[in-house]
Amino acid sequence: MTGGEAGALLARFLGGMAGAKAASPHTIDAYRRDVGRYLDFMTLHRGEAAGRKALAGITPREMRAWQAHLLDEGLSPRSAARALSAVKSFHRWLGEAEGAEAAAPLAARAPKTPKRLPRPVSAEAARALIDHAAAGHREPWIAARDAALLTLLWGAGLRISEALALNRRDAPLPETLRIFGKGGKPRIVPVLSAARAAVDEYLRLLPMAPGPDSPLFLGARGGRLDPSLAQKAMATARAALGLPATATPHALRHSFATHLLSAGGDLRSIQALLGHASLSTTQVYTGVDEARLMAAYEAAHPRGGA
């Protein structure tokens, strides 16, 4: 456990995060863990306490040794990158507040994180999920709510947070809907007639009379539906249907993109519909589509002596 001068430096660094930067307790705990382990490693690796002088003399080779240690310990490249980000913040603070500048930690590069291709569900699986949700609760209005929500995720490419942010005044849903995505950035998305009809059916069965400023998708007690309940409904449906764990509410958004791409949609249009800030984010769907084409080719191609 970090102690001595290194421990005192870490405590002052975290105190500044909690005070001037108003970081959350969760963030502070993560920084305490990542930077503390870094200081412990450098103390053992150098054979001397990781005080100001030692930290100012950290070399590129020592940074590489620490990063290799993280991966040897079983950390994923993503977690190692997060730890490096915390250490860089600590070293920036050391330079500004303590005059102990070190170039090597700030110049260190995070290990490459392999890109994860989204795993959309097929159109048939999406329909099956929605049908199961429509009959998956003893309260008819809750079953209709879950089906309407999943239909909207699939039919409009919404993030679950975007769908649950809708209010009663947004319904009946129009043919196009103005959505505020990440960073409050607005975009216009088309709403399929099936999604509009599903929301109408849910509202017809709803036993409450919410005002215009009330949430569109309500929980059993009348508050805004919690995302975890929507995810639970999806988990129940995929378990009953034997679908993989990757069939999540967000997977329906991926399905929206890949189905559009398969139907001839261009990436720029899909980028706008999904609300991606960068085209590179949308381009991962070309990989999904190519993977699907190759899988179909492999399944259909005659092999060996046929």
Fold of domain 4-107: DNA polymerase; domain 1 (1.10.150)
From the candidates 132, 168, 196, 253, give the one annotated as an active-site residue: 253
pLDDT score for 168: 95
Q: Is 202 a catalytic residue?
A: no
Spell out the domain ranges in the chain: 4-107, 124-252
From the candidates 182, 204, 232, 268, give the one annotated as an active-site residue: 182
pLDDT score for 127: 83
Q: Is 276 a catalytic residue?
A: yes
85-125, pLDDT tens digit by residue? Answer: 999 999 999 988 888 888 888 888 887 765 555 566 777 77
Does the domain at 124-252 match CATH 1.10.443.10? Answer given as yes
Q: Which residue has the tokens 């430096």?
A: 9
Nearest residue to 122 (alpha-carbon basis) of 252, 240, 299? 252
What parts of the chain have a pLDDT lower than 50?
259-261, 263, 265-267, 270, 273, 276-277, 279, 281-282, 288-294, 296-297, 301-306
From the candidates 91, 145, 254, 276, give the one annotated as an active-site residue: 276
- Contact assessment for residue 119 and residue 254, using Cβ atoms and an 8 Å cutoff: yes
pTM over 0.75? The answer is no
Q: What is the amino acid identity at position 202? A: Y
Q: Is 132 a catalytic residue?
A: no
Q: Which own/partner contact pairs does 69-78 have at CB distance under 8 Å and 24+ positions apart?
A: 69/41, 71/111, 76/113, 77/110, 77/111, 77/112, 77/113, 77/114, 78/113
From the candidates 132, 159, 238, 259, give the one annotated as an active-site residue: 159
ω into 249 cis (within 30 of 0): no
Intrachain domains 4-107 and 124-252 with the same fold = no
Q: Is 69 a catalytic residue?
A: no
- Contact assessment for residue 203 and residue 193, using Cβ atoms and an 8 Å cutoff: no
pLDDT score for 160: 86
The whole-angstrom separation of Cα 134 and Cα 5 is 61
